[in-house]
Structure 1
Amino acid sequence: MSNEHDAVLDTEKQKEPPKVKVERKEGEPTAAFKGASWGALLVGVTAYLIGLFNATMELNEKGYYFAVLVFGLYSAVSLQKAVRDKEDGIPVTNIYYGISWLALIISISLMGIGLYNAGSIILSEKGFYAMAFVLSLFAAITVQKNIRDTEKARERV
């Protein structure tokens, strides 16, 4: 009887579709983390830009906040790369490392000073721009880190 039971179980196992397992290399971020990072970047930048588009401020003021966002995103990614290069033993000049830090500090300062002095923007809008800006910077750093980690993990093979 146990032979018949085993035969039935074997037949049932053969009917199950094979499980597809995506192989992730050691050190590579999960697909969920990569997706969450890209999603956060998309949400942050999109929300910021929609807020700018719908704002009642002058066009030159909108241009200022757009330029600060682009500058902030670039400086955050540049700093992350410089820090990571130093950690990995890749040569980074002190001037580039310092400029990367300075650029990020300046972009955050420009956003803070701009929002503080913006008389035409109500406090809740200022908070919205600040949060969308910070989310965008953090997400840009995370996306760049994920790309680098993925490349590094694939090189190991």
Structure 2
Amino acid sequence: MLDNDDGSQIPAPKLKEERKIGEPTSAFKGASWGALVVGMSAYFIGLFNATMELNEKGYYLAVLLLGLYSAVSLQKAVRDKDEGLPVTGIYYGISWFALVSSIALMGIGLFNAGSIILSEKGFYGMAFVLSLFAVVTVQKNIRDEQEAKDA
């Protein structure tokens, strides 16, 4: 509490925590994590409740995991190159290949899935895309936060 000119006390102003340059806001970090949780949860709940064979469920799970990993890997490689850090051409190429492959495998799998109705195909596709976008954003936020701490 602080004393006012007339002797009364007023509450001390809440000190705002300073954000370092380049550090993402808490709201952006929360939204990114939220999008990742929503996308992956929706995808997993859809797989759990699906009437497809277990091997089909495994296929869609593996495609999601490949997509998530390759998206993070590619984002890191692109950013490393942009910041002048060494990235081998083979790693960069494999990262692109893995991401494009996961997207193609998802598209081909959904196109050929006779046991899934069109609205479910759209659901899986959108949950997949949301998860890929969100995992890249989360990885970017983690890296930005670490760089801001190191600066």
TM bracket, shorter-chain basis: over 0.9
Q: Give the total of aligned pairs.
A: 148
In the alignment, the residues of structure 2 paired with residue 60 and residue 27 of structure 1 have an alpha-carbon distance, to the nearest angstrom, of 44
| Corresponding position of 2:86 | 91
How far is 1:7 from its partner? 2.3
| Corresponding position of 1:7 | 5
How far is 1:151 from its partner? 0.5
Q: Does 1:40 align with 2:35?
A: yes
In the alignment, the residues of structure 1 paired with residue 120 and residue 15 of structure 2 have an alpha-carbon distance, to the nearest angstrom, of 46
| Corresponding position of 1:3 | none
In the alignment, the residues of structure 1 paired with residue 72 and residue 63 of structure 2 have an alpha-carbon distance, to the nearest angstrom, of 14
Q: Unpaired segments of 5 or more residues in structure 1?
A: 1-5
Which structure is higher in helix share? 1
In the alignment, the residues of structure 2 paired with residue 17 and residue 128 of structure 1 have an alpha-carbon distance, to the nearest angstrom, of 50
In the alignment, the residues of structure 2 paired with residue 115 and residue 22 of structure 1 have an alpha-carbon distance, to the nearest angstrom, of 47
| Corresponding position of 1:112 | 107
In the alignment, the residues of structure 2 paired with residue 105 and residue 17 of structure 1 have an alpha-carbon distance, to the nearest angstrom, of 55
| Corresponding position of 1:74 | 69
1:44-63 aligned at under 5 Å gives the runs 44-63=39-58
Larger radius of gyration: 1
SS, match of residue 89 in structure 1? coil
1:13-32 aligned at under 5 Å gives the runs 14-32=9-27
In the alignment, the residues of structure 2 paired with residue 22 and residue 123 of structure 1 have an alpha-carbon distance, to the nearest angstrom, of 48
Runs of 4+ in structure 1 off by over 2 angstroms are none
SS, match of residue 7 in structure 1? coil
TM-score, length-scaled by structure 2: 0.95
In the alignment, the residues of structure 1 paired with residue 85 and residue 67 of structure 2 have an alpha-carbon distance, to the nearest angstrom, of 24
How far is 1:36 from its partner? 0.3
Q: Which amino acid aligns with 2:19?
A: R
| Corresponding position of 2:97 | 102
Q: Does 1:147 align with 2:142?
A: yes
Q: Give aligned-pair identity as a percent.
A: 75
How far is 1:136 from its partner? 0.2
How far is 1:16 from its partner? 1.7
Aligned Cα RMSD in Å?
1.1
Q: Does 1:129 align with 2:96?
A: no
